[in-house]
Amino acid sequence: MSISVIICNGCCCGRVEKGHNEVPIDELEAAWEANRIGEAVKLTISDCLGPCSMHNVSLLNTGSGKIWLGELSSLDDYEAIVEWAIESSEKKEGSKLPEILEARRFVRVGESIVRLRDLG
C-alpha cells in the first residue's frame, strides 16, 4: 500500500453553508506542489468518505494501515497534515502523527464512531 492523503470535501465536510469549516483545498494543493511530495504521497480531494458526522474528515494511508482523522477545524490541522506528508515522503513510510492530529483520530466500528482521545 502506498502512502496517501485523502481529504474529504463532500456533501458535509467543507460545506460552510451547513456551518462547517471550509477545506483549504488550494492551500493543500499548493503545499504539495511547493514541497514536491506528490510522487511519494498522493493527495486526493474526495467526495464523501462516509463518516459525515466527523466533519471535516481525512483519511491517511500510512503504507501499512489507515488513519481516520475527523473534526478538523483549523488551518493548523491541515498544516499538520502537510507536515506529516512531508515527513512521510522523506521516510518513505507513514510518519508518526503530530499530537494535534492524534487528538483528531477516530476509528469506525460498524456504524459507530469512536474517538481515540475518548479511550484515554
Size of the chain, expressed as the number of residues it contains: 120
Pairing of strands 112-115, 105-109: antiparallel
Min. distance of Cβ 15 from ligand FES in angstroms?
A: 8
Stretch that binds ligand FES, among 5-13, 29-37, 72-80, 109-117 (CB under 6 A): 5-13
Among 3, 5, 7, 10, binds ligand FES (CB under 6 A): 10
Q: What is the CA radius of gyration of the chain?
A: 13
CB proximity list for 106: less than 8 A, separation 6 or greater: 51, 54, 68, 69, 70, 113, 114, 115, 116
Residue 24 in the binding site for ligand FES (CB under 6 A): no
Residue 49 in the binding site for ligand FES (CB under 6 A): yes
In angstroms, the CA 3 to CA 13 distance is 22
Residue 48 in the binding site for ligand FES (CB under 6 A): yes
Residue 69 in the binding site for ligand FES (CB under 6 A): no
Query: Where do contacts with ligand FES occur on this chain (CB under 6 A)?
Result: 8, 10-13, 48-52, 55, 57
